[in-house]
Amino acid sequence: MNMRRLPFDHPDAVKLNDEVQAEYHERYGDGGDATVLDAADFEPPRGVYLIAYDALERPVATGGWRSQDANGEGNEDGDAELKRMFVIREMRGLGLARRMLAALEEDARAAGRRRMVLETGTQQPEAIALYTSSGYEPCAKFGYYRHYEASLCYAKPLDSDLG
């Protein structure tokens, strides 16, 4: 797998984002994730967006993080918010999500972020299993979906001696 830093609005990112939104619709029966995201959120050093390509140069996985600090939506100073973790169906079960997650954590740590946070939902058991097996623990809800019952939030310290 070849991971590349690309803009959040790159055509391959848009393609995979459309696929993840369709999956959210399947799982939750709504219009997808309504969280407002801006391509500038993922520009270093305040964030990054990665796309993984297979040997045939097809985009097969994505993930990004964006800086968050204390705000009215429950974030804390030093947060790196994980966004758009996704692996296409035919590539699941090969460890791509775990590799993407590790790369994003390392990048956020190098950027001085102290904690990686994420929001997922009750209809995404595979995501929950990945995050909990990677050291994430439930945390106070934050973000757009913090008032939704189906929303689950997790956090992991990024300190070099804890992460």
Q: Please report, for the chain, the start and end positions of each structural domain, with discontinuous segments joined by +.
A: 2-157
CATH superfamily, domain 2-157, is: Gcn5-related N-acetyltransferase (GNAT) (3.40.630.30)
pLDDT one-digit tens code per residue, 16-73: 999 999 999 999 987 778 888 999 999 999 999 999 999 999 999 999 999 999 999 9
Spatial distance between the Cα atoms of 96 and 111, rounded to a whole number of angstroms: 23
Spatial distance between the Cα atoms of 98 and 130, rounded to a whole number of angstroms: 7
Spatial distance between the Cα atoms of 128 and 134, rounded to a whole number of angstroms: 10
With a pLDDT cut of 90, the percent of the chain lying above it is 87
> Which residue in the block uniquely carries the two structure tokens 């019952």?
149
Beta bridge partners of 52: 3, 61
Kindly report the pTM of this predicted structure: 0.93
Spatial distance between the Cα atoms of 123 and 25, rounded to a whole number of angstroms: 11
| Pure H helices in 4-160 | 11-28, 96-110, 125-133
Could you give phi then psi for residue 47, rounded to 5 degrees? 170, 180
